[in-house]
Structure 1
Amino acid sequence: MLHKNHRWLWLLLVVITGIGCILFFTELPGLAKTPHNVIIFVADGLRPTQVNATDTPTLEDIKEKGVSFVNSHSLFPTLTTANASVIATGHYLGDTGDFSNNIKVQAPVKSAKNSVVPFLENNAVLQEVNQQFGQNFLKETSLLAVAKTAGFSTASIGKLGPVLIQDVTQTSGEPTIIFDDATGSATGIPLNSEVQKLLTINSLPLITPSRGENGKSGNSTTPGTTVANVEQQQYFVDVTTKVILPLFKQCQKPFILVYWSRDPDGTQHNQGDSLNQMIPGINGSTVKAAISNVDRNLAQIRMALKELNLEANTNIFVTADHGFSTISKESQTSYATTLTYKNVPTGFLPPGFLAIDLAHDLNLPLFNPDQENKSVDPTKGQFTNNGVLGKNPQHPDVIIASNGGSDLIYLPNWSNRKIYAQKIVNSLFKQDYVSGLFVNDSLGVIPGTLPLSAIKLWGTARTPIPSLVVNFRSFDTGCGNTACGAEIADASLQQGQGSHGSFSRADTFNNMAAIGPDFKQRYVDQVPVSNADVVVTLAKVLKLKVPTQGKLVGRVLTEALRDRPNKVKYKSHVLESAPGVNGLKTILKYQTVGDTPYFDVAGFPGRTLGL
């Protein structure tokens, strides 16, 4: 007799039989009767140090019974859309061109208030940026795009921005099903009528609920949120377990589903447990609740797989796009801290401090690219996150994309770019908030810096390649490990809240694990792995061939696969720049498996956590 709590599954399968699956899939000749499936579960910003049997029993169970990747890596810059492009394609950022959440593009983006450095976590922005770069700004083909062409069922669900990046050229609700924050709105990817019917049958709204209180970040005098993103994420997991997985079951095709959980990232950013204080920072009760929320969502997905008899044939690959740190806004050297601003505590770094300091040192006017290049006068308490520097904002000398724990600097004027590059390096070497600089290879060797190619940011990208990437200082607030990492962050959030993007081990150390029919059981993988390996490994498992244009790709995690040898050799390396004018050197620590690099930490000695 069917358990009363499971009757919805049976009823839904009956309804789906009437709807049919022909809109989504085609026959797959030659497949086994029970082909394997994949769920990529991305817990945005989840730190390995927060996974344990008490707070996250589901995540811990996967690590215990499946493969635990204890030497895992996010790619630098450790930002969401950047690593989303890596998780989607298996390519390093030098190929995907998604260098950070804010990047420079070719022309002003209308859906981003005509900014030339748009924020990519927006469907309309992504589609407009695609139009500027051959209809696919990533250039590379994603795993979902290959899978849907091969006849797999495909879906991407969760956080706005990285969800669409998984199948970035998708503009309709089929064949890939897309649910994110914008679903049901003017900028949402439309749902086809069949999926809408299934939502209605299950009493689920056609419009994604908002984050509510969880979306409130507060300000310098008002704490941010004290609740996890429960309602919105419950909607996404209900859609996954009550609509999409039963639909995939009925269609009897192999499937790939990407589930991108906004928690704990959104809560870690906005948490109000630590206003202007470094402790507890992102280790307070609100973040703990958010992490448990993620675990409950994953538990619901695993239970649905079991009830649908899909568990035995489904691989679950858990990863995080990046780690996380507590924000510091303190500097003893910044010109920006000597000025007064509304809603910025006295002596703290304001948002856009890098643009303010460089405009001052280079003696250049400052403009706000996100407000139609409006003039910005820091001496009058004005600031801007992203910055345009030059006498004419339409033809600037310097463009700064603000991204939290690291910033991108572009020098669009080719006639003076080498001169400005050296001036900028000299200026940044004076700042105590800087910890390491990476310079575009075309600018030649600049003492104290390393080239972009050293960290795989130099490849075949379609988007403009940054001239310089600035890493900000990071440190330990008391734990003696990455659990209490803090960093200077060029962001609008407050000291004590959360950010990421730096080259500290707190930000590069992401949670990764896998379980399923193609992975070893109870195996601890000591070999370095990264987000670049996810697609390459899963494509191998599913016998899918993902075409590549660039050569910066990850590797197949053979040591983690069932019936494969355990031993894989890896080496550790240290790369140092020549000393700069004041003796500072950018140092990079990394590991390699064959030719595949894994970047641990980088920066100036004593200024990067883990270096």
Structure 2
Amino acid sequence: MKLKLSFALTLIATALTPAMAADRPHNVILFVPDGMRSEMVTAANAPAMAALRDAGVAFSNSHSVFPTFTTANASVFATGHYLGDTGDFSNTIHTGYQVGPANGSVTPFLENDAVLGDVDEHFSGDYLNQETVMKAARKAGFNTAAVGKLGPTLIFDHTDRSGDSSVIADDPTGSAAGIPLAQWVKDGLAREGLALAAPSRGANGSVGSATVPGTVTANLAQQQWFADLFNKVILKKFKEDDRPFFAVFWSRDPDGSQHNQGDSLNAITPGINGPTALAGIKNADNNLQQIRDTLRALGLEATTDIIVSADHGFSTVSKQSDTSYAARIAYADVPQGFLPPGFLAKDIAHALGQKFWDPDQKNLLLGDAQHAKFSNGLIGDDPLAPRVIVAGNGGSDLIYLPQKTTKAGARALTRKIVDFLLSQDYVSGIFVDSRLGKFKGALSLRDINLEGSAATPRPAMVVNFKSFSFGCALPTTCSVEVADSTLQQGQGMHGSFSRGDTFNFTAANGPSFKQGFVDAAPVSNVDVSRTIAALLGLKIPDTGKLTGRVLTETMPGGAMPKVRTKTISSQPASNGLKTILQYQQVDRSWYFDAAGFPGRTLGLQPWP
């Protein structure tokens, strides 16, 4: 037994080398305030985030990746690769097979541990096709943990579901559906008088309906349990172990409260700036302050770097269109004249003269007065062999052409869909797989780093929806977007290519970073993982080539990088519309500001 123990300790010591041999790396905490808009962080709204930013590094030119959805950006945080490599193109994707835990749908919602496990198994054990920074840190001997929102939390170390390696705690923790907790975690919860299972969201999960307002309560109880687990159990144990650690706290707020808020039923104002959304911001901010207080109490403040980075910005939902066929039909649960869930799929089916099936209702054939359950759609004569699949997501949707056909046939179908999209007032920008050719009015997926080494099926098209500001001093704090969603007008959504959705909050503080430094260079969530890996001394092999950069300018002695600002424009379509992309570039890393049709995307600057 002693020989086995000695051998195990030798293996651990070996694993800690070279990353920790001569210069022990600092601990790193990534705090993700889901859906935190950069310009909403003020001393009044979020004092802890503002204080961390002002004393450390303020990223004044921060970016989410597009499509601006949660699991997409979680895959970027986890791997340091753009979506063309990770294949997590949006929260809902087409997987190419029926996913059991998603009720057999071919368009599963990825914010689900069982779905992630099933998709992993289908794609050779790792649907991202990239090693995550947390997995690399765990293998190198670091203590590792990820706590918080269901879906993105697991993505950081999704291929190990034993509970004996990284601590993974999210919404189903403590139930049969959750990732098991190691015995020391359960013992710690019991010692602190905490429940062994995560509480539900309670009233915060109330989404409402077209006639009943959503929640007016932030996600207080659930997040406090996560914060207590993180601070009183995990950080305390990591301190006792006296080993460097990498930990993630993914706060569902303000995202959850902004999505479901009931302050603005069917009205654009106050939208996501009402009291419920502000309470969600304050809730996340309180969690960050508790973590900082714990680090100070444990004597870890001087050896721990904290990076705060939201996955995306946020917008208020609009459900209005003058051109949509779907909006002209009466539904039992949709206000007259409003866009129903799945309007894009329904509109495309109508334009092509094809049948419309719902993959989330066992491939139910939908009639005129019916809409999709979750905004997804199968289009064609046979739901098992559809011509077109639409994965509905919110501020943008994915379109797939799953049938194998001739290049000319695929191009002809794409042309029909593109022509239709160009006729709709809710569309603002089209991106097409370059394998299908070039189309007037559209740019390519390659232009936005969606063509890479992904294992999952690549969309044929990504459709961005119209966005605008309802009028305020800082337009990105009051952005509005047409959203293909089950949520109501006035509630909250993201996913578009507006600057309101791409401008996420990012800041850093700790011994590895400059103090009182404003970084005006463009940064994005892709860079966060690369920077964390550098801080931890990790060398992670890259499967794909679409990677971010290490933010060396934020570290003592680091110099500012050279930045280039660029614009790409498609050829104009017959109606004059053209997709324009505005971005910045540092070396090989691209930072997407905004894209779409002139006049239809918030933050898209005038183009000749």
- Per-residue deviation at 1:381? 6.4
- Cα–Cα, structure 1 residues 514 and 380, in superposed 2: closer, same or farther, change >3 Å? closer
**Equivalent pair of 1:342/1:381 in contact (CA under 8 Å):** no
1:573 to 2:566 alignment: yes
- Cα–Cα, structure 1 residues 384 and 532, in superposed 2: closer, same or farther, change >3 Å? closer
Counterpart-to-counterpart distance in 2, 1:411 and 1:381: 21
- Per-residue deviation at 1:380? 5.3
Q: Which residue is equivalent to 1:110?
A: 100
Q: Which residue is equivalent to 1:466?
A: 459
**Equivalent pair of 1:138/1:461 in contact (CA under 8 Å):** yes
Q: Which residue is equivalent to 1:240?
A: 230
1:457 to 2:450 alignment: yes
- TM-superposition CA deviations, 1:117-172 (whole Å, max 9, x none): 10000000000000111100000000000000000000000000000001110211
1:558 to 2:552 alignment: yes
**Equivalent pair of 2:358/2:372 in contact (CA under 8 Å):** no
Name whichever of 134-143 and 372-381 sits farther off.
372-381
- Per-residue deviation at 1:558? 1.1
**Equivalent pair of 1:426/1:581 in contact (CA under 8 Å):** no
**Letter of the aligned partner of 1:469 in structure 2?**
V
Counterpart-to-counterpart distance in 1, 2:370 and 2:493: 28
Equivalent positions of 1:254-265 (< 5 A) are 254-265=244-255
Equivalent positions of 1:497-512 (< 5 A) are 497-512=491-506
- Cα–Cα, structure 1 residues 197 and 33, in superposed 2: closer, same or farther, change >3 Å? farther
Equivalent positions of 1:126-137 (< 5 A) are 126-137=116-127
- Per-residue deviation at 1:203? 0.8
1:444 to 2:437 alignment: yes
**Equivalent pair of 2:111/2:151 in contact (CA under 8 Å):** yes
Task: Find 1:95's aligned residue among 85, 91, 102.
Answer: 85
Counterpart-to-counterpart distance in 2, 1:464 and 1:265: 28
Task: Find 1:538's aligned residue among 528, 532, 552.
Answer: 532
**Letter of the aligned partner of 2:562 in structure 1?**
K
Counterpart-to-counterpart distance in 2, 1:259 and 1:382: 34
Q: Which residue is equivalent to 1:26?
A: 12
- Per-residue deviation at 1:79? 0.2
**Letter of the aligned partner of 2:483 in structure 1?**
A
Counterpart-to-counterpart distance in 1, 2:454 and 2:371: 38
1:176 to 2:166 alignment: yes
1:277 to 2:271 alignment: no
Q: Percent identity?
A: 55
**Equivalent pair of 2:470/2:480 in contact (CA under 8 Å):** yes
**Equivalent pair of 1:112/1:125 in contact (CA under 8 Å):** yes
- TM-superposition CA deviations, 1:246-282 (whole Å, max 9, x none): 1101111100001100000000000000000101000
Q: 2:523 aligns to what SS in structure 1?
A: coil
Equivalent positions of 1:273-352 (< 5 A) are 273-352=263-342
Counterpart-to-counterpart distance in 1, 2:412 and 2:154: 39
**Letter of the aligned partner of 2:134 in structure 1?**
L
Counterpart-to-counterpart distance in 2, 1:205 and 1:32: 41
Counterpart-to-counterpart distance in 1, 2:54 and 2:190: 38
Equivalent positions of 1:406-421 (< 5 A) are 406-415=396-405, 416-421=409-414
**Letter of the aligned partner of 1:353 in structure 2?**
F
Q: 1:591 aligns to what SS in structure 2?
A: strand
Task: Find 1:482's aligned residue among 476, 487, 499.
Answer: 476
Q: Which residue is equivalent to 1:13?
A: none
**Equivalent pair of 2:553/2:561 in contact (CA under 8 Å):** yes
Q: Count how many residue pairs are aligned between Structure 1 and Structure 2.
A: 588
**Equivalent pair of 2:25/2:537 in contact (CA under 8 Å):** no
Counterpart-to-counterpart distance in 2, 1:342 and 1:45: 31
Instruction: Give the superposed CA RMSD.
Output: 1.3
Counterpart-to-counterpart distance in 2, 1:382 and 1:525: 44
TM-score (norm 1): 0.95
Counterpart-to-counterpart distance in 2, 1:34 and 1:238: 27
Q: 1:26 aligns to what SS in structure 2?
A: helix
**Equivalent pair of 1:78/1:502 in contact (CA under 8 Å):** yes
- TM-superposition CA deviations, 1:558-605 (whole Å, max 9, x none): 11112222x221011110000112111000000011221100000001
Task: Find 2:59's aligned residue among 59, 69, 87.
Answer: 69
Q: Which residue is equivalent to 2:202?
A: 212
**Equivalent pair of 1:477/1:484 in contact (CA under 8 Å):** yes
Counterpart-to-counterpart distance in 1, 2:23 and 2:587: 36
- Per-residue deviation at 1:382? 6.7
Counterpart-to-counterpart distance in 2, 1:334 and 1:448: 19
Q: Which residue is equivalent to 1:163?
A: 153
Counterpart-to-counterpart distance in 1, 2:120 and 2:410: 27
- Per-residue deviation at 1:417? 2.2
Name whichever of 106-115 and 380-389 sits farther off.
380-389
Counterpart-to-counterpart distance in 2, 1:382 and 1:575: 35
Counterpart-to-counterpart distance in 1, 2:146 and 2:92: 22
**Equivalent pair of 1:106/1:132 in contact (CA under 8 Å):** no
Q: Which residue is equivalent to 1:43?
A: 33
**Letter of the aligned partner of 2:586 in structure 1?**
V
Counterpart-to-counterpart distance in 1, 2:170 and 2:369: 41
Counterpart-to-counterpart distance in 2, 1:33 and 1:207: 38
Counterpart-to-counterpart distance in 1, 2:444 and 2:586: 21
Q: 2:154 aligns to what SS in structure 1?
A: helix
**Equivalent pair of 1:44/1:263 in contact (CA under 8 Å):** yes
- Per-residue deviation at 1:34? 5.3
- Per-residue deviation at 1:64? 0.7
Counterpart-to-counterpart distance in 2, 1:380 and 1:69: 46
**Equivalent pair of 1:376/1:384 in contact (CA under 8 Å):** no
Name whichever of 240-249 and 567-576 sits farther off.
567-576
1:359 to 2:321 alignment: no
- Per-residue deviation at 1:378? 2.2
Q: 1:378 aligns to what SS in structure 2?
A: coil
TM-score (norm 2): 0.95
**Equivalent pair of 2:316/2:493 in contact (CA under 8 Å):** yes
Q: Which residue is equivalent to 1:146?
A: 136
The runs of at least 4 aligned residues of structure 1 exceeding 2 Å deviation read 25-35, 378-384
- TM-superposition CA deviations, 1:353-387 (whole Å, max 9, x none): 00110110000000000111111112456766100
Counterpart-to-counterpart distance in 2, 1:381 and 1:403: 15
**Letter of the aligned partner of 1:583 in structure 2?**
G
- Cα–Cα, structure 1 residues 211 and 382, in superposed 2: closer, same or farther, change >3 Å? closer
- Per-residue deviation at 1:414? 2.5
**Letter of the aligned partner of 1:491 in structure 2?**
S
- Per-residue deviation at 1:49? 1.5
Q: Which residue is equivalent to 2:585?
A: 592
- TM-superposition CA deviations, 1:297-347 (whole Å, max 9, x none): 101100110111110000000000000000000100000111011121000
**Letter of the aligned partner of 1:501 in structure 2?**
G
Counterpart-to-counterpart distance in 1, 2:579 and 2:465: 12
* Structure 2 gaps, min length 5: 1-7
1:430 to 2:416 alignment: no
1:404 to 2:397 alignment: no
- Per-residue deviation at 1:106? 2.4
* Structure 1 gaps, min length 5: 1-21
- Per-residue deviation at 1:419? 1.7
- Per-residue deviation at 1:107? 1.0
Counterpart-to-counterpart distance in 2, 1:50 and 1:574: 27
Q: 2:501 aligns to what SS in structure 1?
A: helix
**Letter of the aligned partner of 1:306 in structure 2?**
R
- Cα–Cα, structure 1 residues 380 and 485, in superposed 2: closer, same or farther, change >3 Å? closer
**Letter of the aligned partner of 2:55 in structure 1?**
K
Q: Which residue is equivalent to 2:367?
A: 377
Q: Which residue is equivalent to 1:529?
A: 523
